[in-house]
């Protein structure tokens, strides 16, 4: 039940085409909802409830996980639990599996969706860094046709995305890690059911003792989830030495610009960001 709100009108399109037609017309357009776990929390906190909601739950085009040799496609309405429990994904996208396993409690994971977490566009969204390090794409749909957006261009500001008002997230097109190693870690007040103070995902490929490629992404250190491109460029070609983790931590602390808020201080986040990056590199050693 939504507290202190008039009951909104909820529309249940039968398929993606109908949902796109609804969103194309401002008179029938509604707030998109799948699991609704983020939105219900916002509405309970006093964010105005929309007059109209368009439910994407159970649309067949938005649900499921498909694998090809070079790509993993995950439907936007796929739940965190489905990602967590899919044994095929663990060797391909371990950071995303770990991130989905960290979202709230198991009840939230059973209801919340990958697309909803991305569309919510919170800098503290657990899955965003794990998506970013893949270098993948977001597939959007509207009556104008499909469109893809690189994940590193999808989050444009605090709770803002590159999706147009009439566009719907269909799926995420994610290259698997190959021979690279992935890590994911979040720091929160509690081990579960806590909004993250900071989180990190990495995808690092090492060849002959040196870093050939590095993708590092963090949440809660900027207005959006971000790739740490300065660190990635700094790591390129560097040998894995015992001193590398602490040197990388110093680069991170000079790069990130977090804020003070109710969950943490900017100083703590800056220190923790460096520590998380160092820990990820130590795992390679």
pLDDT mean values, one per 10 residues, the chain (285 residues): 63 97 97 84 78 92 95 97 97 97 88 94 94 98 98 96 98 98 83 67 97 96 95 97 97 90 84 95 91
Q: Is the same domain home to 264 and 221?
A: yes
Please count the structural domains in the chain. Answer: 3
Cα–Cα distance for residue pair 242/88, rounded to 1 Å:
34
Q: Are residues 110 and 149 in the same domain?
A: yes
Domain that holds residue 204: 181-284
| Contact by Cβ (8 Å): 149, 137 | yes
Give whole-number Cα distances, 220 to 54, 130, 139, 181, 205, in Å.
Answer: 29, 13, 25, 23, 25
| Residue in this structure with the two tokens 């368009």, named with its chain if needed | 54
Instruction: Tell me, yes or no, whether 257 lies in a domain.
Output: yes
H or E element at residue 67: strand 65-68
At 66, list the tokens.
């498909």
Q: Which helix (H) or strand (E) holds 276?
A: helix 266-284
Instruction: State whether 226 and 155 are in the same domain.
Output: no
198 forms bridges with which residues in the sheet?
187
pLDDT at 265: 87
Does residue 79 sit in the same domain as residue 126? yes
Q: Are residues 120 and 161 in the same domain?
A: yes
Number of separate helices (H) and strands (E) present in the chain: 10, 14
Q: What is the pLDDT of residue 271?
A: 94
Q: Reduced to 3 states, what is the DSSP secondary structure of residue 149?
A: strand
Strands 71-75 and 65-68: antiparallel
Indicate whether 224 belongs to any domain. yes
> In the prediction, which pLDDT does 1 show?
43
Q: What is the CATH number of the domain that holds 24?
A: 3.30.43
In this structure, are 186 and 163 located in the same domain?
A: no
Regarding whether 232 and 189 lie in a shared domain, the answer is yes
Residues of 226-255 as b/e, b for ≥16 C-beta within 10 angstroms?
bbbeebbebbeeeebeeebbeebbebbbeb
Asked if residue 204 and residue 151 are part of one domain, the reply reads: no
> Does residue 1 sit within a domain?
no
Q: In the structure encoding, which two tokens stand for residue 239, read together? A: 């040998």
Q: How far apart are the first and last CA of the chain?
A: 50
Residue 3 lies in a domain: no
Is 17 a member of any domain?
Answer: yes
Which position has the token pair 């059911």?
193
Instruction: Give residue 190's pLDDT.
Output: 46
Domain containing 129 — which CATH number? 3.30.465.10
d(CA 54, CA 25): 13
């Amino acid at each position: 039940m939504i507290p202190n709100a008039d009951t909104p009108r909820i529309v249940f399109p039968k398929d993606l085409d109908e949902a796109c037609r609804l969103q194309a017309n401002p008179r029938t357009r509604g707030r998109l909802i799948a699991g609704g776990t983020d939105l219900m929390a916002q509405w309970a906190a006093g964010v105005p409830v929309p007059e109209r909601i368009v439910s994407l739950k159970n649309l067949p085009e938005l649900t499921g996980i498909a694998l090809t040799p070079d790509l993993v496609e995950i439907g936007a309405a796929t739940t965190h639990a489905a990602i967590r429990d899919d044994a095929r994904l663990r060797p391909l996208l371990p950071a995303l599996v770990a991130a989905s396993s960290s979202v709230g409690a198991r009840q939230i994971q059973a209801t919340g969706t990958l697309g909803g977490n991305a569309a919510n566009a919170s800098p503290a969204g657990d899955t965003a860094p794990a998506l970013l390090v893949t270098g993948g794409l977001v597939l959007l749909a509207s009556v104008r046709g499909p469109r893809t957006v690189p994940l590193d261009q999808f989050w444009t500001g605090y709770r803002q995305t590159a999706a147009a008002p009439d566009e719907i997230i269909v799926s995420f097109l994610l290259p698997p890690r190959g021979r690279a190693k992935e890590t994911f870690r979040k720091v929160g007040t509690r081990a579960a059911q806590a909004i993250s103070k900071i989180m990190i995902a990495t995808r690092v490929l090492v060849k002959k003792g040196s870093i050939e490629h590095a993708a590092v992404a963090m949440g809660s250190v900027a207005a959006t989830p971000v790739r740490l491109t300065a660190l990635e460029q700094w790591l390129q070609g560097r040998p894995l030495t015992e001193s590398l983790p602490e040197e990388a931590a110093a680069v991170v602390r000079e790069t990130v610009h977090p804020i003070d808020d109710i969950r943490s201080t900017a100083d703590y986040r800056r220190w923790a960001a460096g520590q998380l990056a160092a820990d990820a590199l130590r795992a390679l050693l």
